[in-house]
Amino acid sequence: MRKQIFFLILLLMLISLFQVPSLLATGAIGYLQRANEYLKEKKYSLAINEYKTALKINPYYKEAYYQLALAYFGKNNLTKAEENFKEAIKLDQYYFDAHNDLGLLYEEQGKLEEALKKYDQAKEIAPGNPKVYYNLGSLYHKKNDLKKAIVNYIKVLKIDPQHALSYLNLGSLFLIEGKYYDPDKAMAYYQKALLCDPANSLININIASIYYKQGLIDKAIKEYQKAIEKSPQDVYSLAALAAIYMEKQNYNLALFLYKKIAEIEPENFISWYNLGFIYEVEKKYPQALDYYKIALQVNPYDELALYHLENIILKNEDISSPLRSEYAQRHLNLGQYYLKKQQVALAKYEFKRSIKLYPQNPVNRFAYCKLLKYKGCFPEAIEEIKKVIELDPNNIKAKDNLEKLFYLRSRLLSEKEKIDLLLTPSSGTTILIISFKPKKIFHQDIDHYLTYLATTLLKEFPQIEILDRDKLNEFLKNQKFKEVKDIEDISKVGQALKAQVVLWGEATEEIDEIKVSINLVDVENLTSISRIDLTNKGNNRLLEMANQIQGYILKNTPLSGNIIKVKLAKNQVIINLGNRHKVKENDVFEVWEEGGKYLDPGTGRTKRFKERIIGKIKVAKAENNISLATSITFELIDKLKANKVTLIR
C-alpha cells in the first residue's frame, strides 16, 4: 500500500512539473494581450510595464521579448530595443520577425552593414517573405546601389503583386538623376501603386511632381487636389498646390490654402510668411506687416519674414518710428555678435542694415566706424565718425576717435604713393550672378533674397565687380528668356552683358536647412571654373550661406590686378591689390603680358592671342588698397612697366 501511495505522489509531481510552463504561459498571456493593446495606441511606457510583468511570470516568452523590443523602438530607446530583440533570438534562432526588425533597428542607427547581415539571415529563414526583400530594397536605396534596390523591390512584387509601397519606391528610384533616370517608368510604377492603394495620397503627390516638372501644370494641380481630397489635413499637398497658384499669380486661391495650413498648423511659420508675402505683392501693407510679425513670433529667426517686414517699414514708416528703432537694434546686436566671432563681412552687413533702418542713431554708426577702423578703412571710418559727431556733438569718444583716424590715415602712405594710388586703374573680375533657381522651396522669394545677400556681400570686395541685376532682368525680358537652362544660355547672357564669370546656382530649402549648388562658369572659354554643394543649418542660415558663397567665389575666381609702380633700385613693385582684396604677405602672383585681340570668323566671338607669362612676384607687405612685392624672377624687374601687365593669383 505504501508503495502504491509513493508511486501516486511521484506521478502527480511529474504531471505538475510538465504543467508549469503551460500554466506560466497562461498567466503571462493576459499581460501580453494588454501590452499589445497599449502598443497599438502608442502608450509605450504602459506597454513596457505589462511586457515586463509577462516576462517575470514566464522568462522564456519569446513573443514578449520581441514586443517589448518594439515598445522600446517606439520610445526611441534603441539600446533597450536591441537587447530585447537579441533575447528573443536567443530563445528562437529562427525567429524571422526578430531578425528582420533588428535589421531595421541597425538601419535606423546608420549601421547599414550590420542591418544587411540581419536581413540576409531573415531571408535564409523565410525566403518567401516579402518583408525582407522590401527592407533590402530600402537599404540599397539608402546606399545608392540602385541596381540592387530595383532587384529587391521587383522580388517583393513577384511574391506580392499588390505591394503598393514597392511600386511607389520603384517610381522614386527612376526619378534619381543618372543611369536609371526615366520619368515615364516612374509614372508607370506610380500608376500601378495607385491601383493597389487608391487611398494613398502620397502616390498622387508623386504623380503631381512629375507632371509639374514636365510643365503639365493643370494635370499637376488635379493630382494635388486629389491628394487633398484623400488627406485634407496634409500640409505638404496644400503648400505644393499653393506654390503653383503663386506661380500662376492666382493669389486668392494661394491665400485660401495658406490660411488653411495656418489653421491646421499654427506653428507653421512659413505659411504665415507666405500670407504676408501675398499681401505685400498686392500692396496691402498693413495686412502684410501683421502676418510677417506672426511669422517672427513663431520663429524669431525667419530671415525672409524679417527682411520683407523691414522693407515695408522702410517704405511706410517715418525715421522716428519706434519700429525702425526696434529692428535697427536687432541688426546692431547681430553685427556685434558677428564682430566678436571675427566674421567681418557679416558684421558689416548687419551694421549697414541697422543704419539703413535708423540713420539718426549715433550708436549704430559708431559701431560701424569701429569695424571700418578694424579693417584699416580709415577714409571711410573718418566719414562715418563725422556723422556720429554731427548727430551727437557732445560725444567725446567720437571726437577722440576722429583725431586717431586722421593720424592713422596720415601714416598709411607717403604723399607720392597717395598720388600713385589716385592713378591706380580699376582691377577685378566682372561677375554676373544669374540666380539661385529654387529646386524645392517653402518661402516664396527665397531665390531673389539669396541673390540679394550674395550680391550685397560681394560688393564689399573691390576685386569683384558685380553686374547690375536690373540689366540682367532687362536683357532676359528683351530676349524672351524664361530661365537660363544650360551653358549655351550662360554664354549668350554673359557675353551680352560683358561678364567674365557667371555664377549659376540652385537652392533647395528644407524646414531646418538650406542647400545651394553653385557652378562658376568662364564665359570666354565656356568651361566650368568650379562647382560645389553648400549646406547651412544655422539660425541665420541664409545670410551665413551667402557668406559661404562669397568666400567660395573669392577663393575660386582668379584675382587680377596691375603693377602701378616699379622700383628698379630695390627690385620692388607696388601693385593695386591689398588687404581689401584678400591679399596677404607671401602671396605669389604670376605676371602676364597681355596678348592682342582678334575676331574668330567661325564663331564671331572676340578672342585673345595667348597671353605670355613673363615672371612671378611675391608680396612682401600688404596695405589696405596696395601691396609691396618683390620679383622672384631676377631678370623680370627690368622688363616691367607700370599698367602694361596683368597679375593673376
Distance of CA 464 to CAs 388, 487, 503, 581, 611, Å? 30, 22, 12, 9, 22
Count of Cβ atoms closer than 10 Å to residue 618 Cβ: 13
Which of 170-174, 205-209, 316-320, 592-596 is the least confident region?
Answer: 592-596
Please say which residue of 508, 525, 556 terminates a domain. 556
Which of 289-293, 391-395, 437-441, 518-522 is the least confident region?
Answer: 437-441
Domain count, the chain: 3
Give exposure, 524-560, as e/b (b: 16+ Cβ within 10 Å). Answer: eeeeebeeeeeebeeebbbbbbbbbbbebbbeebebb
Choose among 47, 37, 114: nearest CA to 74: 47
* pLDDT tens, residue by residue, 65-96: 999 999 999 999 999 999 999 999 999 999 99
516 and 574 share one domain: no
What is the rounded average pLDDT for all residues in the chain? 84
Residue 638, pLDDT score: 59
Q: What percent of the chain has pLDDT over 90?
A: 51
Residue 10, pLDDT score: 37
Asked whether residue 381 is assigned to any structural domain, the reply reads: yes
Residue 26, pLDDT score: 53
Is the pLDDT at 604 greater than 50, yes or no? Answer: yes
Is the pLDDT at 599 greater than 70, yes or no? Answer: no
564 and 543 share one domain: no
Asked whether residue 308 is assigned to any structural domain, the reply reads: no
435 and 525 share one domain: yes
Q: What is the pTM of this model?
A: 0.77
Task: Tell me which H or E stretch contains 621.
Answer: strand 612-622
453 and 549 share one domain: yes
* pLDDT tens, residue by residue, 239-260: 999 999 999 999 999 999 999 9
546 and 580 share one domain: no
Rounded Cα–Cα distance for residues 119 and 99 (Å): 7
* pLDDT tens, residue by residue, 494-503: 888 888 888 8
Asked whether residue 446 is assigned to any structural domain, the reply reads: yes
Mean pLDDT in residue range 48-61: 91
Asked whether residue 241 is assigned to any structural domain, the reply reads: no
Is the pLDDT at 478 greater than 90, yes or no? Answer: no
* pLDDT tens, residue by residue, 545-580: 888 888 888 877 777 777 877 776 667 888 888 877
Residue 348: pLDDT band with limits 50, 70, 90: very high
Q: What percent of the chain has pLDDT over 70?
A: 85
Residue 233: pLDDT band with limits 50, 70, 90: very high
Question: Which CATH number is 362's domain given?
Answer: 1.25.40.10
Containing structural domain, residue 609: 560-648
Rounded Cα–Cα distance for residues 212 and 65 (Å): 48
550 and 574 share one domain: no
604 and 639 share one domain: yes
Please say which residue of 538, 556, 574 terminates a domain. 556
Asked whether residue 327 is assigned to any structural domain, the reply reads: yes
540 and 514 share one domain: yes
Indicate the residue type of 644. K
Angle at alpha carbon of residue 216, lines to 211 and 218, rounded to 5°: 105
Asked whether residue 404 is assigned to any structural domain, the reply reads: yes
* pLDDT tens, residue by residue, 122-153: 999 999 999 999 999 999 999 999 999 999 99
Residue 424, pLDDT score: 46
